[in-house]
Chain A
Amino acid sequence: MADISLSEAEKRYIVDGVKLGIRVDGRERLDYRQLEIETGLVSTANGSARVRLGCTDVLITVKMEMEPPPPQQPNDGQIHFFVNCSANAAPEFEGRGGEDLATSLSAMLDRLYSSPLSLDTSRLCVVPGKHVKVLYVDVEILECGGNLFDTVSLGVKAALWATRMPRIYITGEDGGELEFMVSDNPQEVDRVDVSNAPILITHLRITENLTVIDPTPEEECCGPVQVVVGVTPKGLITTTQQLGAGTFAPQTLSASLKSAQELGVKIHHQLMQRLLQEESIPNRKTKGFL
C-alpha cells in the first residue's frame, strides 16, 4: 500500500474517531466509498471495465484466445490473471517497486477463481482435448488510493460480465478432426456466467477489536493487519487471506467474517443491478476517461 508518513497525533485522531463510530471522511465503520463502474471502454478487448472507488482507479480487460488444453485437464478452459501496478499509480511503484503488490494481487485472484463453483471452466471448452477458450484478464492499477483488493475484484467481475465471445460452431468431421468455425455475425455472441463470481472484502483492524471496511491509505497506516475475504453472491466464503504483520483476536476475526458475508451479498446485488441497468441503455456512448 501507499507509503504515507503519519504523525502519532494523526494516527490517534483517526483511531479515536473510529472508536466513536466516525471516520475521518465521515463514513461509518462498515461503509464503502463512492463506487463508479463503467464497462466496454476498450473496444478491441472481448470485455473491459473501469472501477473507481474513491481515489483508487483500476482498468480491467479480458481477452479470449483459443488454445490446446494441458493434458491433465483436457475438458476445461482456463482463466489467467495478470496485474500491473503502473508507475503512475503511486510513487513507490516506480521501476519494479510495484511487483510484489502485483504478484500478491494476481495470486489472490487466482485463488478466488480457482473453484469451479466460481467460474465454470468446462463451459469454456470447445473441442475436448484440442481447443479450449482461455481468458486472459489484465488488471492495470491506474491510481492507488487504498483498498486495492476490493476494487480489483469488483472490476474483474464487471469485466467478465461485459465479455462477449463470438459463437463457435463445430464444423463436420474433416479427416477425423473436429474443426471450429467462428460466426461472422457480431450479434451472435456467448457470454461468461458470472452469477457465482466472488468479490473480495477487506477488513482492516484499526484498533483492538474494531475493523473498518474499505480503508483509506491514511487508515491503512494506522492499523497493522488486514484480512481479505472472498465472498460469493450467495454469501459463501471462498477464501481468506491475511495481509500485514499482526494479530486478530478470535472474536474480531469471526465478526469480520460474518460482516463480510452480509456485506458481500448486498454488494453483489447492487453491482448486478447497476450492470444490468447500464446494459439496458440503447446506443450507450462510453464516458471513458473524461
Chain B
Amino acid sequence: MGLVERKLKVFYRKTKKGNIIKVVREHYLRNDVWCGYEGCRECECEKPILDMPDISDSTLVPEPHFIMIDTNVALHQIDVLCDDSITNVIVPQTVVGEVRHRSLPIYKRLRDLIETSSKKFYVFTNEHHNECYVEREAEESANDRNDRAIRVACWWYKQHLRLCNQKIILLTNDYANRDKVRVMELEAYTTKEYVSSLKNRPGLLDIVASGEEDKGEDTITQRCLYAPHWSMDKIRQSLKTGKLRQGCLKTSRNNFLEANVLVEGLDKSVLIQGRLNINRALNDDTVAVELLPEDQWCRPANVIIDQEKQEEENKDKEEADEDAIKKEDDLLAAGQGEGELQPTGRVVGIIRRKWRQYCGIIKKNEITESIIKSRGELSYEQAQQRIDDPNMQDDLTNSLRNLNMLAKQLKKKRIDAGALVLASMEVKFHVDPDTDTVVDIVAKQHLETMSMVEEFMLLANVTSAECTLKHFPDCALLRRHPAPPHSNFESLLVAAKSQNIELDVSSNKTLAESLNNVTRDNNPFFNSMLRIMTTRCMMQALYFCSGTLEPTEYADIIVHRLLAVIIEADRTYPDLLNPKKLADLSQHINYRHKMAQYAGRGSAVITAIQLTLYLDKREKKKEKKNPTKGAEPMEVDKIHAPEFEFNEKELFVKCGSVIIRPFDHLKIQVTVDTSDVQHQRVVSKLIEPIIPGFSVPSLKRESSEPKETTSKKRKK
C-alpha cells in the first residue's frame, strides 16, 4: 500500500536573467491509485464515481462503456462534453494538466464538469500510477510523450476492467493517435464518429466543433511564410549604419506583386518584387528596405497582374501557400520587361503604417473583431434618393436596396413579436451659418433609410446582449425598458376614452395593435398625437446587471469588454465578472443619465424659446409689409378671470358654454415673455374657441395659420 518507487524528473530551464538551471524533481509512484469504478472488486476506492449504465446509446459501441478523452478533445470539444448525454468519462491527469497549461477558461469549465456529480467525470491520476508511468524517450517530443501516457492509461483500464467485464473507448481527434491506439487493440473514435453514432442525440452533432484534425505542431511553423519583421531597435541601428534604407512604399498600379520604394539618396526608386519580398507592406507605408546584391537586381515587369482577378481564378483551387507563391513568382518572371535593371530590395520591416480602414476576415464565430471598409458617406436623403432612383444600378445602390429589404424583414419580425412603434414629432432648424440665426424650420421627414439604420443598430444591440448573456449568465450588462405600471397608462386611457377610443395596454403587442387601429378622417395627425402621448407613459431605459437584476454608457464599454473576452481577444479583469460591482456601476450610470436628461430638458426649453422668437420675427416681418394689419395684442384682463370647471372623470374643461376636450382643435398664440431677461419664458394664449375674458384675439387676419397643437389638461 502506498509508495512503490521514486523517479527523478530532470530538465533544464532558462531563467529570466539568462542563466540555465537544472531542475530536478522527485516523482513518486504509487500502487494505490484506483480506477474509480463502483463495481470494481480489485480496487479499494472509498468514493467511486463511475457507474455503468445498462445500455449503450451508441451504435458504434453496442456494449455499455466508459469514455476516456485526450487533450485535444478536452480543449476543442468541451461543448460536446458539457452535453447531458455524455457521462461516465475518465479524464487522465495528463489531460487535466495540459488543459490547464493551454487554456484557463476551458480548464475552468472542465473542472466544473468534474465537480458536477451527475456528469460522473473521474480524474485518473495516471502520472503517479506505477503501472501507467511513462518516461520521455529520446527523439520524443513532450506532446508525443503525453499522448503515449494517455494511450498507456487507456490500455491499463482495458486490462483492469476486463476483470469486471466492462469496456472503455478512447475519444481522440488525432487520426495518428487513433491509429496507434487501434494497434494496441483498443477502441478509439474521433468525436465526430462517436457523436454521429449516438441514437438519442441527433442535435449533438451540430455542437461538435469542426475540425481540423491535428496534424501536429509542424504546420504552425510551416505557415510562417513571410520573413519576420525586424525589431524597431534593429531597424534603427541598421538605418544608422546604412545597411537599410527607409522610404515610402508605392504598390505598382498595374501589378500587385510589385512595388517601388522612394529612398532618399538614390535617383531611382528601389524595386520590390514578389509577395514574400513585399512582406505584408501596404501602399503608402513607411518601410525599411534592404538592398539586394547587384546580381539579384530585376527589371520591372510589364504584365498587368490584378489581385482581385487572381483571387477569382484561384479561389476554387486549394493549393498550398508555397505553391501559390511559386505561381506568382513565375508570373512575375514571365513578365520581365525590357528596361534597365533597377536596384532591387526586400522589405524587412514596417516603420509606420498608413492608417486606413480595411475589412477584416469573417471568422466562423458569431462575433469577431473586424474593421469597417468604408465605401463612402451618404446622408439619409442621399441614400433614399439612390434607392428610389431606378436608373441607379451600381453596386453601392443595389447593396443599399438589399440592406433595405433585409431591414424591412427584420422590422416585420419585430412587429410580429410585439414591438411598439412610437412616433415623435421632431423639427429641424436651418441655421444661417453667417449670422447664426434661424432661417427656416421644417418637420423631420421619416425616411426608409432611417428605419434601415435603426433596424441594424437594434440587431447589433440584441446580438451583443444575447451573446454576453450566453457567455456570462450572471454578469452581463444589459439594458431594457421595464414594463410600465398600469398607473402610467391611466391618463392616456382616460384621454383616449374621451374620444371614444379603447386601448388595450395588457401587453406591448396588444397596445401596438390598438394604436394601429385608431384613425380620424378629419385629422391626419391624430394617430401620431396618440402615439406621442403613449411615449410619455413609457419607462426610461435602465441598465442592469443580469446577475443581480438591479438596474444600473460606460455600459457600452463594459459590453465591449465582455464581448472581447468571449472572442478571446482580451482577458478579463476581476471586476468585470463581479455582479455586485457591475450593479454599483449600473446605478452610477443611471444617476449620471438622469442628470444629463435634466440638462437636456433645460436645453429643450431654450430651443422652444428660440422657436418662438423665430416665429415672432417672421410675423413682425410680415407686419412690416402690411402695416395696416398691425394690431396690438389685447391685454388679458386678469382681474375678471372667468370660471373654469375641470371634469376629471370625463376629462374636459368647461367655461361657460365652451367645452374643451383632449384632441380638440385650438388656436393659440405663442410668445416669449422677455420681461425677466434671466428667465425667459414661452407664453401660450388661447385664441379659439373664444372664451370671453380669457382668450385673446388673433394677431393675424389672413395667411399663415398658427401652429396647431394638442391641448394638454389644464387644471385651474
Contact = CB atoms under 8 A, between A and B. Distances in A.
B507 interface: no
B12 A183 contact: yes
Nearest to B235: A175
Of B10, B12, B136, B137, which is in contact with the most chain A CB atoms at under 10 Å from its CB?
B12
A186 B12 contact: yes
Interface in A188-209: none
A64 B18 CA distance: 13
B8 A43 contact: yes
A277 interface: no
Most buried by A among B18, B233, B238: B18
B142 A175 contact: no
B234 A175 contact: yes
Nearest to B15: A66
Interface string A38-80: 0000011110000000000000000011100000000000000
B231 A182 contact: no
Interface string B117-156: 0000000000000000000111101100000000000000
A166 B12 contact: yes
Contacts of A173: 230, 234
B595 interface: no
Interface in B209-229: 228
Interface string A217-245: 00000000000000000000000000000
B634 interface: no
Considering residues A65, A172, A180, A182, which has the most beta carbons from chain B within 10 angstroms of its beta carbon? A182
Interface string B590-607: 000000000000000000
Given A43-B8, A43-B10, A182 B20 contact: yes
Contacts of A25: none
B14 interface: yes
A86 to B, nearest CB: 23
B11 A66 contact: no
Nearest to B238: A176
A184 interface: yes
Given A65-B19, A186-B10, A176 B233 contact: yes
Nearest to B141: A185
A93 to B, nearest CB: 30
Contacts of B142: 184
A5 interface: no
A174 B231 contact: yes
Contacts of A166: 12, 20, 22
B24 interface: yes
Interface residues of A, number: 23
Nearest to B135: A186
Given A174-B231, A176-B237, A186-B136, A64 B20 contact: yes
A184 B233 contact: no
A44 B22 contact: yes
B22 A46 contact: yes
A131 interface: yes
B13 interface: yes
Chain B interface helix/strand/loop/mixed: mixed
Contacts of B8: 43
A174 B10 CA distance: 29
Contacts of B137: 187
A249 interface: no
Nearest to A173: B234
A4 interface: no
Given A64-B20, A131-B18, A175 B230 contact: yes
Interface residues of B, number: 25
A227 to B, nearest CB: 39
A20 interface: no
Contacts of B139: 187
Contacts of A174: 231, 234
A65 B142 CA distance: 25
Contact of A182 (B12, B24, B234, B238): B12
A177 B44 CA distance: 59
Interface in B13-59: 13-14, 18-20, 22, 24
B19 A44 contact: no
A172 B224 CA distance: 14
Interface string A145-188: 00000000000000000000010100011111000111111110
B18 to A, nearest CB: 6
Contacts of A186: 10-12, 136
Nearest to A184: B11
B13 A182 contact: yes
A45 B23 CA distance: 9
A131 B139 CA distance: 28
A66 B234 contact: no
A185 to B, nearest CB: 8
Contacts of A172: 228
A65 B10 CA distance: 17
A182 B14 CA distance: 6
Nearest to B236: A175
A46 B21 CA distance: 9
Contacts of A182: 12-14, 20
Given A44-B22, A66-B19, A166-B20, A175 B231 contact: yes
Q: Which of A168, A176, A181 has the most CB of B within 10 A?
A: A176
A28 to B, nearest CB: 43
A173 B19 CA distance: 19
A66 B18 contact: yes
Contacts of B228: 172
Among A64, A175, A180, A187, the most chain B Cβ lie within 10 Å of the Cβ of: A175
A66 B22 CA distance: 12
A175 B24 CA distance: 34
Contact of B14 (A43, A45, A176, A181): A181
Contact of B233 (A43, A45, A175, A181): A175
A265 B601 CA distance: 105
B241 to A, nearest CB: 10
Contacts of A65: 19-20
Contacts of A184: 11-13, 142
A280 B453 CA distance: 79
Contacts of A176: 233-234, 237-238
Nearest to B228: A172
Contacts of A180: 14
A185 B18 CA distance: 18
Contacts of B231: 174-175
B227 to A, nearest CB: 10
A173 B237 CA distance: 13
B24 A44 contact: yes
Contacts of A131: 18
A201 to B, nearest CB: 33
A275 to B, nearest CB: 20
Interface string A110-137: 0000000000000000000001000000
Nearest to A43: B24
Contacts of B230: 173, 175
A131 B18 CA distance: 9
Contacts of A66: 18-20
B21 to A, nearest CB: 9
Contacts of A44: 22, 24
Contacts of B11: 184, 186
B23 to A, nearest CB: 9
Contacts of B234: 173-176
Given A46-B22, A173-B234, A185-B141, 12 more contacts: A43-B8, A65-B20, A166-B22, A174-B234, A175-B232, A180-B14, A182-B13, A184-B11, A184-B142, A185-B136, A186-B10, A187-B136
25 contacts: A44-B22, A44-B24, A46-B22, A66-B18, A166-B12, A166-B20, A172-B228, A173-B230, A174-B231, A174-B234, A175-B231, A175-B233, A175-B237, A176-B238, A180-B14, A182-B12, A182-B13, A182-B20, A184-B12, A185-B136, A186-B10, A186-B11, A186-B12, A187-B136, A187-B138
Closest 9 CB pairs of A and B: A166-B12, A175-B231, A175-B233, A175-B234, A187-B138, A182-B14, A43-B24, A176-B234, A44-B24
